[in-house]
A and B are shown apart, each in its own frame.
Chain A
Amino acid sequence: MYEFEFKRPGTIADAVAALGAEEAQLLGGGQTLLPTMKQRLAAPAVLVSLGGIAEMQGVCTDDAGRICVGGGTTHAAVSAATAESYPALSHLAGHIGDPAVRNRGTIGGSLANNDPAACYPAAVLASGANVVTNTREIAADDFFEGMFTTALNDGEIITEVKFPVPAAASYQKFLQPASRFALTGVFVAKFAGAVRVAVTGASEDGVFRWSEAEAALSGNFSPEAVDGLSVSADGMIADLHGSAAYRANLVKVLTKRAVAAC
C-alpha cells in the first residue's frame, strides 16, 4: 500500500467537497478497494471514507412502502433490518462473503464497484430499485452499464437505495468454489402483474435481466415455465471455474430454483 491521505467527513456535502481533491477516491467498507491498494494496484492520493456519515446509515420504509437502505449501510445491518420486510434481500445480504466482509462492506460500495460476480446488483435490478445519489435518482435499469461500470459520474456518491418490495422473491447463488462469489446468481422478484429476473456472475456485460424468462413467468409463475427456454452461451463468462455453456446452464437451473423457492 502506498501512502495516502485519509479523510472521514461527517456529511454528504463535506464528502463531496473532499472528493474535489486531486486523485481522491471514495471508500465505502473497503472490501474491494483496500485489498487492491494493498496489492498496489490502486493508489489514491486521498481516501474519503463514507463511514462517518450518519445520514447514509440505516434502513427505513418510505411512504410508498419501499425499503430505503442508506448507502453506507453494511451487509450485516441490511440483513438484520430486512429479515421480516424483505426476506430474499435479507438472505442475500446475509450470505455475501464472510462475517468480516458483511460487517465492513456496504451496499453503496458494492453497487458502485459493480463486480460482475457481486450479489447486490442482482437484487437491485430484479427489484427495480432506484439508486439515489447526491445529485439524482437512477433507475436500476439505467444504473448498471457493464462489468465494473455504472452510470455514476466521477465524484457521485450513492446515498441511498430504494427497494420496492415484491410479493415474492428468491435469490439463488451458486458459489464459485474458491472465492465463494456468485459463479452465477439469479434473483427472481414477483410483483403484481410482472416478474423480474436478474442474473449476476454469468455475463461478460455484468448483471442483466433475462427478459424471456420474465415474459414466460409473468404468464405462468412456475419452474416449468422456463423449461422451454434456452440461454445462449454467447457473451457468458468462461474461466477456470466454468465454461460459458456451464454458466448459461446455471442461469436456467437457478431461475427455476428461485421460482420454486418463491
Chain B
Amino acid sequence: MPKDSGIGASSKRREDVRFLTGTGNYTDDINLNGQAYVHFLRSDVAHGRLNKVDTSVAAEMPGVVRIFTGADFEGVGGLPCGWQVTDKHGNPMQEPAHPVLAQGKVRHVGDPIAAVVAETAAQARNAAEAIELDIEELPAVIDMKEAVKEGATKVHDDLESNLCYDWGFVEENKAAVDEAFEKAAHVTTLELVNQRLVANPMEPRVAVGDYNRATGDSTLYTTSQNPHVIRLLMGAFVLGIPEHKLRVVAPDVGGGFGSKIFHYAEEAFCTFAAKALARPVKWTSSRSEAFISDAHGRDHVTKIELALDADNNFTALRTDTYANMGAYLSTFAPSVPTWLHGTLMAGNYKTPLIYVNVKAVFTNTVAVDAYRGAGRPEATFQLERVIDKAARELGVDPVALRRQNFITEFPYATPVAVEYDTGDYNATMDKLLEMVDRDGFEARAAESAKSGKLRGFGVNTYIEACGIAPSALVGQLGARAGLYESATVRVNATGGLVVMTGSHSHGQGHETAFPQVVADMIGISEDMVEVVHGDTANTPMGMGTYGSRSLAVGGSAIVRATEKIINKAKKIAAHLMEASEGDIELKDGQFTVAGTDKSVAWGDVTLAAYVPHNYPLEEIEPGLEETAFYDPANFTYPAGAYACEVEVDPDTGKVTICSFAAADDFGNVVNPMIVEGQVHGGLAQGIGQALLEGAVYDDNGQLLSASYMDYAMPRADDLPSFQVDHSCATPCTHNPLGVKGCGEAGAIGSPPAVVNAVVDALQRGGHNVTHIDMPLSPGRVWQAMNG
C-alpha cells in the first residue's frame, strides 16, 4: 500500500498552488519605492579594444539618473571564481580578471560595457543607444583547438595563452594506461562533440539592489539557487560588504538548471548602484539578453579510446577533452570538466586503468559553467557511446558487453579517485529490459519497415556523483568553499514547526518533501511543518541547491536538527511524566513511557517548552529550536539504465522517439511523485540535447542560435510518454535518509541512449554511420546517411 503521508508518500506539491495560479512572488514581482531601472549596453562584437565609451550625450537624455562604465569599477573587485584547478604540472590554472563592466577590452558578444540607470526601463534603454562607442575590433577566438595554438590571438592579453589549464587525471597512471593500450586486443576510438547549450529557465534572471542609508545595510533580491553563496562571493570579493551588512533574498525562482548558481555582474552592479545612488535599482533580463549573458553549458570536444582484452574485458580508458570556458571564468566553471567529469569516467564499469586529459580554453564566447548534470553528462555520453561503438566493432550485444564489465561489489574504489558506496547495476538493467520488451523489438522493427521507417534500439547506463560534497575532499580538489548544508528547526509553542533550510527550491518541491521527512520523524501531520528558504536574513548559512544535493545534504541537516529537537522534547516529556528519559518513546506524535500507559502529546511538550511552569529548568533551557550543519562523508552515487527506441525517416532524417524507459536507483525515495517529475524533466532536457538544442557561434563570434527562432527547445510533442521506475533501490550507506538525489539523472542518462538508438537504426538500415554529433536534427541525420 502506498503511504498517504510522510516518507514514501506522493504528497501533492503544496507550492504548486501559487505557481499554477500566478500568485508566486518572483524577483521581478518585487518593486521598491523609488526604484530606478538599469539597462546594460552590451558588446555586439566578440572581441575588441574599447578605445572610448562616451556617455556625454546619453547622460542628458530624459530620465537618466546616472551612467556607469568600467571606470566606475576600477576600485572594485572583479567577479571571483570559486574553484581553483591545478594543472598536470602542479601549477594553478590561469585566472583572468573579470570586471563587473568591461575594462579595456570586450571579450564576447553580450559583455556589458556600460550600465544606464534611469527612471524607467525604456528611458534607460533609449539612453544606452545614445552612448558612443569606439571599439577596435580584434580577431575573434572561437575554435578551441585554434585558440591554444602558438601565436593565437589572446582573449586576455595579460595571460600567457588561451589555455586555462591542462589537467591530467590521474597523471601518475598515464604510463600504465598507455601501456595497457599497447597490449590491448582491441581498441575503439571515438571523436565527438558535447555541444554548447543554453539553460533557458522559464524565468530569466532579475536583480533588485537596495540600500538603507540609515543602517548602511544592502539588500539584493536575485534569481539565485544559492543566496548565501552570492552573499559571500559578492560581499567578500566584489563589493567589500561584510555579511552582517548584506542580505540576499532569492524568493520564488522559476528554474535554474545550474545557470542561477553563479554570481553574475548584474547582481553586483545593482547592489553597487543602489548604494551609489541611494535608491533601489532593478534589472530584468530579456530573453534575448539571457542568451548572451547567462552562463552556457557543456561545450566539450573529446577523443575517447577504450582498450579491451581478447575476452572483451575493459582494460583501459583514455580521453582527451577540450573544454570551453568562454571569455571569463564563471563561478564554478573550472570544476565542471575536471572534478565533476574526470572522476566519473569509470562509469558503472570496473575498467582498472583510466587517464583523463582536459584542456580548458578561453574563447570569445559567453562563459560556460554547470548545467544540469555538469560534467557528468559529458562523461556518461562519451563512455556510453564508445562502449556502444566497441560492441558493434566486436559484434557483441551492447547489453552483454556492459554487463560483463559491470562493477558488482561494493564499496568500490575507482581508479579515478571516488568510492562508490553501493549499487546494483544488473538489477536496474534487468528492470529496464523488462520495461522495454526487448524481445519484441524485431517485430516492431518489421512494422516500422512497412511504412519505410528504420527502427533502432539504444541502451546505456549512467552513474553520477551527487549529494555534493564532502568539504574536506573538495577543499583538497581546489574548491574555495565548503559544501555542507544547514537547517534550523523551530518548534512553536502550539506544536507547529518551521524548517529554515540553506537549500533553495526553484522548482524541486522542497516545501512539500522536507515536511514529509520531519513529520514522519515526529509522527505528526505534514501540514504542521512549514519550510522557509531563500533569504539570508532568516536561514542559517547554507550552500544552496545544485548537484542533486538538497535532500541528500540539506535533508540530512534537517534530520540532524530534528533529532536534536526530539532528544530535547524527550527530556521535557520525561519531566512531565516523571519518568526516566531513557524510557521515553515517540510515536505518532505521542510520547509514552515504555511499559506504562502514561503519555503526553507532542503539543503538550512543545507548550511546556515555551510556558515552562513545570519544566526541568535546572537541566535544559526553555524553547525548542535546534540547528544542525551536515557535511556529507562521501558523494552519493545514483545510477541506472536507460533505453530508447526510435524511428528514423530515411527520406528526411527525422528521428521520432517511440519509447523511452528509465530504471533508476536513487536509494530511498521521500516523494515518488516528485521524483518521477524530476526524472521526466531531466529526460526532456537530455532528449532536448540529443535531438534539438545547440548554441552555435559563427567564426566572428556571433551567436547564431540567439533566440527561439533558431535555438530548438524540446516541446511536449517532441517527447514520448516516459516509462520510469525507481524500485531497484540500494540505499545510500552514509546519510541518515539513505537517499541519493534524482535531479540530474534524466539529463545525464538520456543523450547516449538516443544517439545509440539512432546509430542502431541507421546501421540496421544498411548505412555505415558510426556516430552523429548532437543535436541529431533531421538535417544532420540525413547528411550522415547521404555522405
Chain B: which residue is nearest A256 at the CB level?
A: B651
Contact A174–B705 (Cβ < 8 Å): no
Is the interface on chain B under 10, 10 to 19, 20 to 34, or 35 or more residues? 20 to 34
Q: How distant is the Cα of A178 from the Cα of B786 in the complex, in angstroms?
A: 23
CB contact under 8 A between A178 and B783, given known A241-B777, A242-B778: no
**Stretch from B110-118, B504-512, B706-714, B719-727 contacting the other chain:** B706-714
Residue in contact with A240 in the complex, picked from B288, B691, B705, B786, CB distance below 8 Å: B705
Specify which of A1, A240, A243 lies most central, judged by the most chain B CB atoms within 10 Å of its CB.
Answer: A240
| Distance A113 CA – B651 CA, assembled complex (angstroms) | 31
Let me know if A179 and B692 touch, CB within 8 A. no
Within 8 A of A (CB), among B642-657: 651-654
CB-CB under 8 A for A179 and B709, given A240-B704, A253-B652: yes
Q: Is B779 an interface residue (CB 8 A)?
A: yes
Q: Please state if A39 and B288 are interface contacts (CB–CB under 8 Å).
A: yes
Residues of chain B within 8 A of A177, CB atoms compared: 691-692, 712, 775, 777-778
Kindly list chain A residues whose C-beta atoms are within 8 Å of the C-beta of B652.
174, 249-250, 253
Chain B residues contacting A2 (CB-CB under 8 Å) are 126
Chain B CB count within 10 A is highest, among A183, A242, A253, for A242
Contact A243 B783 (CB under 8 A): yes
Q: Does B712 lie within 8 Å of A246, measured CB to CB?
A: no
B709 touches A178 (CB 8 A): yes
Cβ of B696 under 8 Å from chain A? yes
Q: B73 at interface (Cβ–Cβ under 8 A)?
A: no
B710 touches A249 (CB 8 A): no
**B782 interface hit (Cβ, 8 Å):** yes
In chain A between 211 and 262, which residues have their CB closer than 8 angstroms to a CB of chain B? 239-243, 245-246, 249-250, 253
Q: Give min CB distance, A45 to chain B, whole Å.
A: 16
Residues of B within 8 A of A249 (CB): 651-652, 782, 786
Most interface-central of B126, B129, B777 (chain A CB within 10 A): B777
Bound together, the chains give a CA A135 to CA B779 distance in angstroms of 43
Interface residues of A in 157-193 (CB under 8 A from B): 174, 177-179, 183
Task: Chain B residues near A250: list those with CB within 8 A.
Answer: 652
Q: For the complex, give the distance between the alpha carbons of A120 and B672 in Å.
A: 48
In the assembly, what is the distance between CA of A241 and CA of B781, in Å? 11
Q: Which residues does chain B contribute within 8 Å of A179, judged by CB atoms?
A: 708-710
With a 10 A CB-CB cut-off, give which of A1, A174, A178, A249 has the most chain B CB atoms.
Answer: A178
Q: Which of A177, A179, A239 has the most chain B CB atoms closer than 10 A to its own CB?
A: A177
Closest chain A CB from B511 CB (angstroms): 32
A-side contacts of B783, CB under 8 Å: 243, 245-246
Q: Give residues 151-165 of B contacting A (CB, 8 Å).
A: none
B residues in contact with A246, CB < 8 Å: 653, 778-779, 782-783
A241→B708 contact, CB < 8 A: no
CA distance A240 to B694 in the complex (A): 10
Are B709 and A242 touching (Cβ within 8 A)?
A: no
- CA distance in complex: A183, B782 (Å): 14
A253's nearest neighbour on chain B, judged by CB, is: B651
Within 8 Å CB of A243, what residues of B? 779, 783
**Minimum C-beta distance from A247 to chain B (A):** 9
CA distance A249 to B652 in the complex (A): 8
Residues of A with C-beta under 8 A to B779: 183, 241-243, 246
Given A250-B652, A253-B652, A178-B711 contact (CB < 8 Å)? yes
A205 to B414, CA, bound (A): 59
**Residues of chain A within 8 A of B777, CB atoms compared:** 177, 241-242
A240 touches B710 (CB 8 A): yes
Smallest distance from the beta carbon of A235 to chain B beta carbons, Å?
A: 17
Contact present for A178 and B708 (CB under 8 Å): yes
Shortest distance between the CB of A252 and any CB in chain B (Å): 9
Bound-state CA distance A183–B129 (Å) is 35
A-side contacts of B694, CB under 8 Å: 240
Q: How far is the CA of A242 from the CA of B782 in the complex (A)?
A: 9
Interface string of B278-313 (1 = CB under 8 A from A): 000000000010000000000000000000000000
Query: Given the complex of chains A and B, what is the CA–CA distance between A250 and B783 in angstroms?
Result: 12
Give the residue among B652, B691, B710 with the most A Cβ atoms within 10 A.
Answer: B652
Question: Which B621-657 residues have a C-beta within 8 angstroms of A?
Answer: 651-654
Structural contact, A178 and B778, CB atoms closer than 8 A: no
Contact B778 A174 (CB under 8 A): yes
Closest to A252 in B: B651
Residues in B with CB closer than 8 Å to A40 are 125, 129
* Nearest opposing residue in chain B for A181, CB measure: B709
Q: How far is the CB of B713 from chain A (nearest CB, A)?
A: 8
Across the two chains, which residue of chain B brings its CB closest to A1?
B122
Which residues of B90-141 have CB atoms within 8 Å of chain A's CB atoms?
122, 125-126, 129
A246 to chain B: closest residue by CB: B779
Q: Which residue in A39, A178, A183, A253 is a CB contact (below 8 Å) of B705?
A: A178
Q: Contact mask B395-439 → A, CB, 8 Å, 1/0?
A: 000000000000000000000000000000000000000000000
Minimum CB distance partner of B696 in chain A: A240
Q: Distance in Å from the Cβ of A98 to the closest Cβ of chain B?
A: 10
Task: Tell me, in angstroms, the Cα distance from A177 to B125 when the chains sit together.
Answer: 32
Q: How far is the CA of A107 from the CA of B777 in the complex (A)?
A: 30
Q: How far is the CA of A39 from the CA of B783 in the complex (A)?
A: 34
**Of A178, A242, A245, which is within 8 A of B712 by CB?**
A178
Assembled-state Cα–Cα distance A249/B653 (Å): 11
How many Å from the CB of B651 to the closest CB on chain A?
5
Known contacts A246-B783, A253-B652; A178/B710 CB under 8 A: yes
A242–B778 alpha-carbon span in the complex (Å): 8
Rounded to whole Å, the gap between the CB of A7 and the closest CB of chain B is 22
Residue of A nearest to B692 (CB): A177
Q: How far apart sit A177 and B714, CA to CA, in the bound complex (Å)? A: 9
Task: Give the CA-CA distance A234 to B712 in the complex, in Å.
Answer: 27
Q: How does the 8 Å CB contact mask read for B765-779 relative to A, with 1 for contact and 0 for none? A: 000000000010111
In angstroms, how far is the closest chain A Cβ from the Cβ of B700? 15
Residue of B nearest to A39 (CB): B288
Docked pose: A235 CA to B786 CA in angstroms: 20
Shortest beta-carbon contacts, A-B, top 3? A242-B779, A178-B712, A177-B712
A and B contact pairs by CB, cutoff 8 A, 15 listed: A174-B652, A177-B777, A178-B705, A178-B711, A179-B708, A240-B704, A240-B705, A241-B710, A241-B779, A243-B779, A243-B783, A246-B782, A249-B651, A249-B652, A253-B651
13 further A-B pairs in the complex, CB-CB below 8 A; given A178-B709, A179-B710, A242-B778: A40-B125, A177-B691, A177-B712, A178-B708, A178-B713, A183-B779, A239-B710, A240-B694, A242-B779, A242-B782, A243-B783, A246-B782, A249-B782
